[in-house]
A = this chain, B = another copy of it.
Amino acid sequence: MANKLLGIDLGGTTIKFGILTLEGEVQEKWAIETNILEEGKHIVPDIIASIKHRLELYGLTKEDFVGIGMGSPGAVDRQLKTVTGAYNLNWSKTQEVGSVIEKEIGIPFAIDNDANVAALGERWVGAGNNHSDVVFMTLGTGVGGGIITDGKLIHGVAGAGGEIGHMIVEPTNGFLCTCGSHGCLETVASATGVVRVARQLAEAYEGDSKIKLALDNGEEVTSKDVFVAAEAGDGFANSIVEKVSFYLGLATANISNILNPDSIVIGGGVSAAGEFLRARIEKYFETFTFPQVRQSTKIKMAELGNDAGIIGAGSLASQLMEK
């Protein structure tokens, strides 16, 4: 009887796999290196070989599985189950993914972009508490997200739904974003965005600060350095965290003012700053929301860490059951 899910988290460095129960419990997990050589042509065959090997190892067959779900970087065509382009995989042309895996493994397959899939994971068994209305925001190299209403991801008419990183939080004098707009959330709240805000504020700051000194000396400063220094009492670092939290509070408030989700869950590398950052964001969130939303929508930190991808992919796979 089909009572398992297979989740795949495809990344530029590693491909993570998980075998999950229908309730979202990870029973087995493993990872292989992502071989992006030769235009990434080894990736799909490597995935297939790894699945075949592990199913044999665990004594499982295709009949044990409801489906396979996959989160992928880049642009995804969910209907055709292809990846239409993913630069960090060296996939410049459309890649057949689902059709090949379905044919070789014989298990139904579903795919979505990695931020959407992580959103499904956090919603299902992470901070989202399996609520039907959850927004996920990931602060990493970029800022991505996924919006779940009524238990389903919002994809939008051109598949651009959930692109929280491109909300405009600084409509005048904002930094230029890779998307071509100015003032996107990503320009001030991604890992590089935090450092960009630091450089901007450094010009006017007068006072002792390890972070300012390092910036002025041309040393490498990371977003983590900024949060660590702020928590340790560095006044300059604190002003950076304030400004970043202002932008994140504004963005989370505006999302909530129109969608009123149960929670907004914040994940990704920058979110490692934990409660220190969450409480700051919440302060501005409360400033910018109206009473009904302030009292009902919660700001939370992600709980699943590295497993969000495979768990979310499992959640995606479980939706194949409903069809």
User: Considering the chains assembled together, what is the distance between the CA atoms of A179 and B295 in angstroms?
Assistant: 13
Binding site for B on A (CB under 8 A): 131, 133, 145, 147, 149-150, 152, 154-164, 166-168, 171, 177, 179-181, 184, 246, 250, 253-255, 257-262, 287-293, 295-297
Judge whether A160 and B292 touch: CB under 8 Å: yes
CA distance A152 to B150 in the complex (A): 9
Cα–Cα, bound, A295→B291 (Å): 35
Query: How far does the Cβ of A149 sit from chain B's closest Cβ, in whole Å?
Result: 5
* A287-B181, A289-B181 known; A257+B168 contact, CB < 8 A: yes
User: In whole angstroms, how far apart are the Cα atoms of A296 and B261 in the complex?
Assistant: 25
Q: Is the CB of B288 within 8 A of A168?
A: yes
Are B258 and A296 in touch, CB under 8 angstroms?
Answer: no
Q: Do A158 and B290 form a contact, CB below 8 Å, given A149-B149, A168-B250? A: no
Whether A160 lies near B288 (C-beta < 8 A) is no
Complex contact B156–A290 (CB within 8 A):
no
Tell me the complex Cα distance, A163–B167, Å.
Answer: 17
List residues of chain B with CB within 8 A of the CB of A184.
290
A135 and B17 CA atoms in complex are apart in Å by 38
- Roughly how many angstroms separate A164 CA and B258 CA in the complex, as a whole number? 5
6 extra A-B contacts, CB within 8 A, seeds A131-B157, A164-B257, A181-B288: A158-B293, A167-B258, A168-B253, A177-B290, A181-B290, A254-B254
Minimum Cβ distance to chain B for residue A104 (Å): 32
Q: Which of B131, B159, B258, B293 contacts A260 (CB 8 A)?
A: B159
Q: Smallest Cβ distance from A161 to chain B, in angstroms?
A: 4
Residue of B nearest to A262 (CB): B157
Instruction: Identify 10 residue pairs between A and B in the complex whose beta-carbon atoms are under 8 Å apart, listed by A's number.
Output: A133-B154, A150-B152, A156-B261, A159-B292, A160-B257, A160-B293, A161-B258, A167-B254, A168-B254, A171-B250
Tell me if B254 and A290 are in contact (CB < 8 A). Answer: no
A166 surroundings in chain B (CB, below 8 A): 257, 289-290, 293
Choice from B150, B180, B291 contacting A180 with Cβ under 8 Å: B291
Residue pair B250, A162 in contact (C-beta under 8 Å)? no
Chain B minimum-CB-distance residue to A177: B290
User: Which of chain B's residues have a CB closer than 8 A to the CB of A161?
Assistant: 258-260
A7 to chain B, nearest CB (A): 24
